Amino acid sequence: MTTPEFSFTLAGQDGRARAGMLKTAHGEVPTPTFMAVGTAGTVKAMTADAVRATGAKIVLGNTYHLMLRPTAERVARLGGLHKMMDWPGPILTDSGGFQIMSLAKLRRLEEKGVTFRSHIDGTTYELTPEYSTEIQHLLDSTITMQLDECTKFPATHREAKDSMELSIRWAKRSRDAFITRPGYGQFGIMQGNVYEDLRHYSALALVDLDFEGYAIGGLAVGEGQAVMFEVLDYCTDFLPVSKPRYLMGVGTPDDLLGSVARGVDMFDCVMPTRAGRTARAFTAKGVFNMRNARFQDDTRALDENCACLCCTRHTRAYLHHLFRCEEMLGPMLLTTHNLTYYQSLMQGARAAILTREYESYCADVRDNWQRGPDS
Amino acid sequence: MTTPEFSFTLAGQDGRARAGMLKTAHGEVPTPTFMAVGTAGTVKAMTADAVRATGAKIVLGNTYHLMLRPTAERVARLGGLHKMMDWPGPILTDSGGFQIMSLAKLRRLEEKGVTFRSHIDGTTYELTPEYSTEIQHLLDSTITMQLDECTKFPATHREAKDSMELSIRWAKRSRDAFITRPGYGQFGIMQGNVYEDLRHYSALALVDLDFEGYAIGGLAVGEGQAVMFEVLDYCTDFLPVSKPRYLMGVGTPDDLLGSVARGVDMFDCVMPTRAGRTARAFTAKGVFNMRNARFQDDTRALDENCACLCCTRHTRAYLHHLFRCEEMLGPMLLTTHNLTYYQSLMQGARAAILTREYESYCADVRDNWQRGPDS
């Protein structure tokens, strides 16, 4: 068996929305796609089989968490992240940079990289573009992300420019450090905050480095959906048509629909998993809080058209009971459902793009969200 | 389809150890059997499918927890406990009495029953033998337990006698309140503490009431294994050969082996599930603490001959990592393993009894426990 090249082909387009197929050493991923977040080598509250059953084709691992525990070297000794977590499919890992900024203590950002202390035991680490790339190699990540600096929001044009330029220099160093293997890829990350000229500059510089894909970073950091869509309105056009586009850390189901409409192919977000642990259900009829007493005698399925374990075997009343009693099965079942909902939203989007009905698909989905649990 | 009668037949004996078959309205249970504890309508950290996959044939529900949340009336409206928790198989429910004594506040024990305040919201409830039986009927419990008083340990002969006699009066009232249905049964509970004459008296009085099975209560309450076995040495012989015998709240794997040798058929205990949440693994080579650093690079299966999801898909190193990071998947996988271990211990016991090799089976199992994780 020959390992396939890392490739991305478009299967269809509807306006700017794209339906594609990503091929990797670890399997194929129809796009648009949502990547479930498996922070520390596990999608929280889910067995790997349960993740597969949601329809997920690719998951994300967090370099920051994994480099601290169990360490990249140990993951490598255990045969790589795929083997360790029983996920033979594609895995994308982030660079660690974003979570250093949000979680670590005593961060120091310099030209060479970031020095930080672990939020767990205070140990000092230095993460450079080269080391981040090496760690992701040790993890056996299918898609490696460059180390970047995620510019804060709001930022002046000057701040955003300096930050973006640092990310470009780090992109070059990350690219140089990446060891090419058949079926593996590395993505560069566009920065530039809300400034069109900077986004354009960033994209051109990254494209020069010929990455296997491009991420759009520095969004979903507090700017709001309207501003995010405004930035996306221009910035996907700066990226090559033939490469996958990944919008990092996004988002709500509505964010996903709007971003797909603007030419994005890949997403990741903790939202469906975190919501699953805090009783928030994403459904075809909107978002429900399962702790609400309205559900205590509700014998209907959470989402009547959903084929997940939670919806086919249990009632809203049982879910409500599990969350009231703080039983682990509540988060287990609701994470299963939420991830299944996100996957089916993206599967539906793909099908609609292929038949050039994406706009009416989105309109129908959004109409349904207004219906509420009792409809 | 006709509902089968509730029945128990012996398939074999080896010394006092018994292999039997319990038939109920909800399915058959080969004995000896271990019942996983599903306190509040869920075996903690397990989907119903995962419980089935451990080999479990019957689970236990706690009347005390269920009467408080979601309430017996609501369970009935939701179609019964089987339907609510997606467990069509047999369910045994306790009477609620034991947990009132251990969990509730402001308990008052009187001839008519127990008055207590909920540990959750302070609401006052009264549980009588009649009401406990009615609640279990509402839950649609396959096997209803009588309300009893579990005598404390140590207790004087006088205290134990008074308590046991109260339990006998409650047994009569529970029996009178039980609504007979094909395939459903009710068990009486023998008390009498460590006093042979009281145990004998209790057994005779219960047998007069012709229950479908008999539990041995008031053990595993601090007396230690040696005393427990001493009591079992005589008290199983006071019970009819043709009815199942259930030792309540027991115990360690070694407790189970020794109790089966003394003629017990059924067990329940939170030990394998609770241990699964606190990183304690029950294995063929003894009990391991998965948080121990010795496992951090151990790429072997937790228990090499175990066919569970945890042992066939993951390493000890991954389990160690999950517990260190306090990931829910740690408890999920280890509960799966521990319950599978308990089930296979009982399956092995049954097979050995049928071939009259129970003594050597126990000797082999106990020898193996001494081997430790590195053997």
CA distances, B319 to each of A122, A293, B273, B291, B326 (Å): 24, 37, 16, 8, 10
Domain boundaries, chain A: 11-236, 276-366
Q: What would the CATH number be for the domain defined by A11-236?
A: 3.20.20.105
- Cα radius of gyration rounded to whole Å, chain B: 20
pLDDT over 90 at A104, yes or no: no
Give B3's pLDDT tier (boundaries 50, 70, 90): low
How close is the nearest chain B Cα to the Cα of A314, in Å?
A: 7
Of B40, B79, B86, the CB nearest to A325: B40
Residue linked to tokens 């390992």: A3
CB B285 within 8 A of CB B372: yes
Q: What is the pLDDT of residue A254?
A: 98
How close is the nearest chain A Cα to the Cα of B207, in Å?
A: 38
pLDDT over 60 at A1, yes or no: no
Q: Which chain B residue shows the shortest CA-CA distance from A41? A: B322
Q: What is the pLDDT of residue B107?
A: 87
Torsion angle in degrees (nearest 10) through CA of A44, A46, A52, A57? 0
CATH class belonging to B7-275 = alpha beta
Q: Which amino acid is at A162?
A: D
Burial status of residue B121 (CB atoms within 10 A of its CB: 0-12, 13-18, 19 or more): exposed
B318 in reach of chain A (CB within 8 A): yes
A38 in reach of chain B (CB within 8 A): no
Sign of CA dihedral B111, B112, B117, B118: positive
Among A201-215, A274-288, B107-121, whose mean pLDDT is lowest? B107-121
Q: Exposed e or buried b for every residue in A90-114, given b needs 16+ CB within 10 A?
A: bbbbbbbbbbbbebbeeeeeeeebb
Taking contacts as CB-CB distances below 8 angstroms, the residues of chain A near B317 are: 70, 74, 78, 84
Mean pLDDT of chain B: 97
Region A197-225: mean pLDDT is 97
Please state, in angstroms and rounded to a whole number, the distance separating the CA atoms of residues B241 and B351.
20
CA distances, A150 to each of A201, A237, A261, A321 (Å): 16, 21, 24, 41
Please state, in angstroms and rounded to a whole number, the distance separating the CA atoms of residues A231 and A234.
6
Of A74, A84, A318, the CB nearest to B296: A74
- Per the DSSP assignment, residues forming a β-bridge with A92 are A60, A143
A118 in reach of chain B (CB within 8 A): no
Chain-chain contact of B328 with A44 (C-beta, under 8 angstroms): yes
Give A3's pLDDT tier (boundaries 50, 70, 90): low
What is the percent of chain B where pLDDT is above 90? 95
Region A86-94: mean pLDDT is 98
pLDDT over 70 at B264, yes or no: yes
Region B233-261: mean pLDDT is 98
Taking contacts as CB-CB distances below 8 angstroms, the residues of chain A near B75 are: none
Active site residue A49: no
Residue A280: which H helix or E strand, with range?
A: strand A280-283
Region B272-283: mean pLDDT is 98
Mean pLDDT of chain A: 97
A107 in reach of chain B (CB within 8 A): no
Residue linked to tokens 């496992």: B295
CB A272 within 8 A of CB A253: no
Taking contacts as CB-CB distances below 8 angstroms, the residues of chain A near B314 are: 86
B45 in reach of chain A (CB within 8 A): yes
What is the percent of chain A where pLDDT is above 70? 99
CB A334 within 8 A of CB A310: yes
B139 in reach of chain A (CB within 8 A): no
Please state, in angstroms and rounded to a whole number, the distance separating the CA atoms of residues A260 and A7.
20
Q: What are the tens digits of pLDDT across the range A241-281? A: 999 999 999 999 999 999 999 999 999 999 999 999 999 99
Chain-chain contact of B85 with A318 (C-beta, under 8 angstroms): yes
A146 phi/psi in degrees, rounded to 5: -65, 155
How close is the nearest chain B Cα to the Cα of A290, in Å?
A: 14
pLDDT over 80 at B281, yes or no: yes
Q: What are the tens digits of pLDDT across the range B62-101? A: 999 999 999 999 999 999 999 999 999 999 999 998 988 8
Chain-chain contact of B315 with A74 (C-beta, under 8 angstroms): no
Q: What are the tens digits of pLDDT across the range A150-209? A: 999 999 999 999 999 999 999 999 999 999 999 999 999 999 999 999 999 999 999 999
Q: What are the tens digits of pLDDT across the range B144-189? A: 999 999 999 999 999 999 999 999 999 999 999 999 999 999 999 9
Q: What is the pLDDT of residue A2?
A: 59
Q: Do the strands A7-14 and A17-24 form a parallel or antiparallel pair, or are they unpaired?
A: antiparallel
Please state, in angstroms and rounded to a whole number, the distance separating the CA atoms of residues B295 and B279.
12
Q: What is the pLDDT of residue A181?
A: 96
B351 phi/psi in degrees, rounded to 5: -60, -40
Tokens of A298: 């509700």
Number of Cβ pairs < 8 A linking chain A and chain B? 104
pLDDT over 70 at B133, yes or no: yes
